[in-house]
Structure 1
Amino acid sequence: MAAQPLDAEQTNPLQGGPSFSLRNRLLRAAWNVSWALLASWTPPQMRFWRRFLLKLFGAQLGEACDVRGSARVWYPPHLHLADRALLAERVNCYNMAPITLGRAALVSQGAHLCAGTHDIASATFQLKASPITIGAGAWIAAEAFVGPGVEVGEGAVLGARGVAFRSLEAWTVYGGNPAKAIKPRVLRAAER
Structure 2
Amino acid sequence: MKNIDWDFLKKDMTFIILNCLVNRIPCWKIRKKFYERFGMKIGKGARIGLYTIIITPQKIELGERSIINHSCFLDGSGKVIIENDVSISCFTKIISCTHSTRSEIFEYKANPIWIKNNVWIATGAIILDNSLIEEKAIIGSGSIFKGKAESNCIYYGNPSKKIKARKLNKNYRIDFNPYFR
Q: TM-score range, shorter-chain basis?
A: 0.7 to 0.9
Matches within 5 A, 1:1-192: 22-23=6-7, 25-36=8-19, 38-43=21-26, 46-187=27-168
Aligned amino acid, residue 97 of structure 1: G
Which structure dedicates a bigger proportion of its chain to strand? 2
Work out whether residues 19 and 53 of structure 2, in 8 Å CA contact, stay in contact via their aligned partners in 1: no
Provide the alpha-carbon RMSD of the alignment. 1.8
2: CA distance, partners of 1:176 / 1:37: 32
1: CA distance, partners of 2:16 / 2:108: 25
The runs of 5 or more residues in structure 2 that have no matched partner are 173-181
* Higher RCO (Cα < 8 Å, 6 or more apart): 2
TM-score normalised per structure 2: 0.86
| CA drift at 1:188 | 7.7
TM-score normalised per structure 1: 0.81
Instruction: State, as a whole percentage, how many aligned pairs show the same letter.
Output: 22
Aligned amino acid, residue 99 of structure 2: H
1:1-35 alpha-carbon deviations (Å, 9 max, x no partner)? xxxxxxxxxxxxxxxxxxxx742x33322222322
Count, aligned residues: 167
1:140-170 alpha-carbon deviations (Å, 9 max, x no partner)? 1100011111001111000000111111111
| CA drift at 1:97 | 1.0
Work out whether residues 120 and 137 of structure 2, in 8 Å CA contact, stay in contact via their aligned partners in 1: yes
